[in-house]
Structure 1
Amino acid sequence: DIRKVVQVLEQTAREVLTVLQSVHQPSGFKEIPGKCAKARELFCTVRTQMAELKTKFPVEQYYRFHEHWRFVLQRLAFLSAFVVYLESEALVTREEVVQILGIEVVREKGFHLDVEDYLAGVLIMASELARLAVNSVTAGDYSRPIRISNFINELDSGFRLLNLKNDPLRKRYDGLKYDVKKIEEVVYDLSIRGLAKEPESGGDK
């Protein structure tokens, strides 16, 4: 029963991803608000499916079955983070992710977002932003890669504060270094061509 609901969740996650992937097209940059709104609609379906998943096992046995939904939950955390970034260029909090997905923050309240799953989702988003930086240039948006670079550098600084053990999260964090490097190369290329302009200061970070 758990597997069946997770398969349906995975299908919805693929639909959200398909909607958001189109922002990488040159024409997609103008359509970002519309794509985010469409993704938000699909998250309503996710919340319904999550509610069904919660009924399939005793609440205290979350970690017994965790492996069944760990991958899809990380994927959904990434999609939530990506939507929030596209809307506000801010880092999604764990509290915001659970709100989007209709689950809990703390274990005691039931089906929750494990902190490692949240962090894995954020790291997947970093790779997506590295791709977005490259495609921004293709679309003629030269200021976005600089903003992405600033954001990813701050993210990297945050992860450096964590004592990550040698586990899948650590391996994924190692990938962040390549994302930082990739975005820095994009910004460097823009700078030597005189196309890089620092974003206007002002407003909240």
Structure 2
Amino acid sequence: MGENKLITDIFTQFQQNLDTDQQLRETIRQICKDIQQISREAVTVLQVIHHKEEGVLQACQKARQLFEDAKKGYTMLKEAVPWTDYYKYHDHWRVVTQQYCYLISLVIWLETGIMASNETVADILGINAEEQKEGFHLDIEDYLLGLLLLCTELSRLAVNSVTRGDYTKPQQISHFIMELNAGFRLLNLKNDHLRKRFDALKYDVKKIEEVVYDLSIRGLLPKTEPANIAEEDKTTETKSG
């Protein structure tokens, strides 16, 4: 009788633990639902880049405002998720975090033409970078997948830029994607999903190469050598003579 009661007590505790876990998962789901809605708004705001050059900076500013709203959501996640249980619940925010890594990286590229570091992305979301790994943080694979999503978006932008008569942007995108591609090739990728997504990068590279090649044979690429450099060369030749 005593043994049966002990087993009952044990399984009662199990049920209490399951109930607590389920309540936490519901809380996490609701927070993730909210920050996912914000990410959709940011995607919509940034679609202007495919239609016109005007308004791109304003779209970036609006997206940054939305990132501030998302930051509040990530703060709530940090407070809700136990310090030791990050990977237990990681699947709940994994996809939306990859989306934010892509969106933030896109905004920074549009503003500066450079790659956003994982520290910068983590800071904008108000969480720790992967290197620190203290409780809630930005998983490095989520960040890398966000960069791969960025490559796909930029390959699309290269095509649409030509459509609206901007022949400089595809070349800029091509140089950036080539550098990213070289960087990814330095990695020994073990994650199956990340590896498959990286394999798809070659199609983005091919699309951009075709755009740049087409512009090249049509003679539409802007000259890479500024006129003032050419003049300096002529001056140097004259002095030498």
Question: Could you list the per-position Cα deviations for residues 79-117 of structure 1 after superposition, in whole angstroms to 9, with x for gaps in the alignment?
Answer: 010000000110110011011111111454321101111
CA distance in 1, matches of 2:197, 2:154: 15
Structure 1 residue 20 displacement after superposition = 0.8
Runs of 4 or more, structure 1, over 3 Å off, are 198-201
* Larger of the two Rg values belongs to structure: 2
- For 1:115 and 1:138, the matched residues in 2 are separated by 35
Superposed CA RMSD: 1.3
Confirm or deny that 1:12 pairs with 2:44: no
Q: 2:77 aligns with which of 48, 53, 61?
A: 53
Structure scoring higher RCO (CA < 8 A, sep ≥ 6) equals 1
Residue 92 in 1 paired to residue 116 in 2? yes
- Indicate yes or no: 2:185 matched with 1:160: yes
1:197 Cα offset (Å): 1.7
- Secondary structure at 1:60 match in 2: coil
Give the structure 2 partner of residue 32 of structure 1: 56
Give the equivalent residue in structure 2 for 1:170.
195
Of residues 55, 62, 72, the one that matches 2:86 is 62
TM-score using structure 2 length: 0.80
Among the aligned pairs, what percent are the same residue? 52
Whether contact under 8 Å (2:103, 2:150) holds in the other structure is yes
- Structure 1 length normalisation: TM-score? 0.94
Residue in 2 that maps onto 1:125: 150
Give the 3 Å change call, closer, same or farther, for CA 143–5 of structure 1 in structure 2: same
User: Which amino acid in the other structure matches residue 75 of structure 1?
Assistant: Q
Aligned residue pairs, count: 199
Unaligned 5+ runs, structure 2: 1-26, 227-241
**Cα separation, 2, equivalents of 1:33 and 1:50:** 25
- The 8 Å contact of residues 155 and 208 in structure 2, kept in 1 or not, is answered as yes
Report the equivalent of 1:115.
140
C-alpha distance in 1 between matches for 2:49 and 2:225: 23
| 1:126-205 mapped onto 2 (5 Å cutoff) | 126-165=151-190, 167-199=192-224
1:56 is displaced (CA, Å) by 1.6
